[in-house]
């Protein structure tokens, strides 16, 4: 491992939003099924994949994914986990069996895990019951709180248990209040919010307010909150999130893949907002690609360059890395002592590099993997660009995929 002053030794990156099982369908939803293909038709494909998992296949897929994350430079993952029950909706003998498969995958691969069991109760803003293909996601409030409590007994320096509300579509207002008033005040809370225009319209129709507007008015949103996507924002909403201290988790490659829309980054940063990134649907497992596209989306929309900068911080790469690091502790509830990503100083992309341009070169030059070593909590898990168990994990992944497909 290199010295702390080494410009090629960077802090590990937190991945604020992951659905591990979706790694198994990355690249398999890219054929037109309907002229109107959209987020909502993708979701049907996703539900079919979700219906096939059991704890063993989830463990195998999550292990592959977490090894890939580590090789790419993510050292912490927030797992937004809602695949709780058997496919017909009955709990497993151990109601936490699917959660424990994820915990095991994180422990074995060596990534820090913020496990976010998801409360998922209704099929839409109108409070309709879950559809059959959503049954394995569902809990009532008491069963959900029991799950969170059961998982908390395993907490450690590398495992934090938080809580997630799937979305305002899936969690009625009274259930949200019941959960938030019962759980410890310092627990990370994550929620999908305002990703699709359709949900903004439904929220306006049923709750009389836009999703972010409603949330800010009806929950004590503060720094322990992470708002995932928050794509469709009016100015006052962006400013309200910034004032609250909450983090917005932006998932640029997934948001592009699903046709969500573009987060108003410049305005949010001007308001002092906190952001992080997530790999979400796993169409890309690379902080480089997320950060690159976070910036490029803004350039395409504004016809300007070098958007994500701050006064005194003119480098886009450095500003982006500093910004995602600044939100990590709040969003994950975890520390990052001993989390180090060592880049390949010998790579041609770094010829003539100075400490000031390492981040820009890493994020904005080419596609060769530049991560050489990764350490989590002081343990080396990636050497020479390879996860310590890469081959065994990939072999189990292939076996699991043969079952899933």
Catalytic site positions? 229, 280
- Is the CB of 198 or the CB of 366 nearer to ligand NGQ? 198
The count of other CB atoms within 10 Å of the CB of residue 31 is 7
CA distance 200 to 195: 8
DSSP-based three-state secondary structure for 189: strand
Residue-level length of the chain? 405
Helix (H) or strand (E) holding 324: helix 316-332
Number of other CB atoms surrounding residue 207 within 10 Å: 17
Q: Of 131-190, which residues contact ligand NGQ (CB under 6 A)?
A: 167
Q: Is 195 in the site for ligand NGQ (CB under 6 A)?
A: yes
Nearer to ligand NGQ, 8 or 120 (CB): 120
Please state at what angle helix 316-332 crosses helix 287-302, rounded to 10 degrees: 120
| CB atoms closer than 10 angstroms to residue 305 | 10
**Is residue 299 close enough to count as binding ligand NGQ by CB under 6 A?**
no
Extended beta strands in 141-295, E state: 159-161, 163-165, 189-193, 225-229, 247-250, 274-277
- Does 2 contact ligand NGQ by CB under 6 A? no
Task: Please say which residue, 281 or 318, places its beta carbon nearer to ligand NGQ.
Answer: 281
**What is the pattern of x (binds ligand NGQ, CB under 6 A) and - over residues 16-45?**
---x-----------------------x--
Nearer to ligand NGQ among residue 87 and residue 385 (C-beta) = 87
| 281 contributes a contact to ligand NGQ by CB under 6 A | yes
Q: Please, which residue, 192 or 375, has the CB nearer to ligand NGQ?
A: 192
By CB under 6 A, the count of residues binding ligand NGQ is: 9
Helix, strand, coil tally for the chain in percent (to 5): 45, 15, 40
254 binds ligand NGQ per the rule CB under 6 A: yes
What residue is closest to ligand NGQ based on CB? 19
Q: Does 79 bind ligand NGQ (CB under 6 A)?
A: no
Q: How far is the CB of 81 from ligand NGQ (least distance, A)?
A: 10
Judged by the rule CB under 6 A, the positions of this chain that interact with ligand NGQ are 19, 43, 167, 192, 195, 254, 258, 280-281
């Amino acid at each position: 491992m290199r010295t702390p002053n080494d410009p090629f030794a960077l802090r590990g990156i937190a991945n604020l939003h992951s659905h591990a099982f979706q790694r198994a369908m990355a690249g398999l939803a890219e054929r037109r099924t309907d002229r109107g293909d959209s987020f909502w038709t993708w979701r049907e494909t996703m539900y079919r994949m979700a219906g096939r998992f059991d704890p063993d296949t989830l463990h195998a897929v999550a292990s592959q994914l977490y090894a890939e994350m580590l090789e790419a430079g993510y050292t912490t993952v927030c797992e937004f986990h809602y695949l709780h029950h058997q496919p017909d909706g009955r709990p497993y003998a151990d109601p936490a069996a699917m959660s424990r498969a994820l915990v095991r995958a994180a422990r074995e691969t060596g990534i820090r895990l913020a496990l976010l069991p998801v409360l998922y109760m209704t099929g839409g803003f109108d409070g309709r019951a879950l559809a059959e293909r959503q049954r394995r996601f569902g809990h009532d409030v008491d069963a959900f709180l029991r799950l969170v409590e059961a998982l908390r007994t395993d907490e450690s320096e590398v495992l934090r248990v938080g809580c997630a509300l799937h979305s305002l579509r899936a969690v009625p207002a009274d259930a949200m209040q019941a959960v938030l008033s019962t759980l410890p005040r310092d627990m990370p809370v994550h929620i999908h919010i305002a990703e699709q225009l359709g949900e903004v319209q439904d929220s306006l129709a049923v709750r009389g307010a836009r999703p972010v507007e409603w949330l800010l008015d009806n929950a004590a949103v503060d720094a322990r909150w992470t708002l995932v996507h928050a794509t469709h924002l009016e100015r006052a909403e962006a400013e309200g999130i910034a004032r609250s201290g909450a983090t917005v988790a932006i998932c640029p490659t997934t948001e592009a893949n699903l046709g969500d829309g573009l987060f108003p980054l410049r305005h949010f940063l001007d308001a002092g907002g906190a952001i992080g990134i997530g790999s979400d649907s796993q169409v890309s497992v690379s902080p480089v690609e997320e950060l690159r596209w976070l910036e490029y989306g803004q350039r395409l929309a504004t016809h300007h360059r070098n958007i994500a900068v701050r006064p005194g911080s003119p480098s886009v790469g450095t500003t982006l890395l500093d910004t995602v690091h600044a939100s990590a502790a709040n969003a994950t509830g975890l520390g990052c002592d001993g989390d180090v990503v060592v880049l390949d100083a010998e790579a041609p992309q770094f010829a003539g590099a100075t400490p000031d341009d390492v981040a820009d070169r890493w994020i904005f030059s080419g596609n060769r993997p530049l991560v050489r070593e990764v350490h989590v909590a002081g343990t080396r898990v990636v050497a020479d660009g390879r996860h310590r168990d890469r081959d065994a994990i990939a072999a189990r992944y292939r076996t699991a995929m043969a079952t899933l497909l």
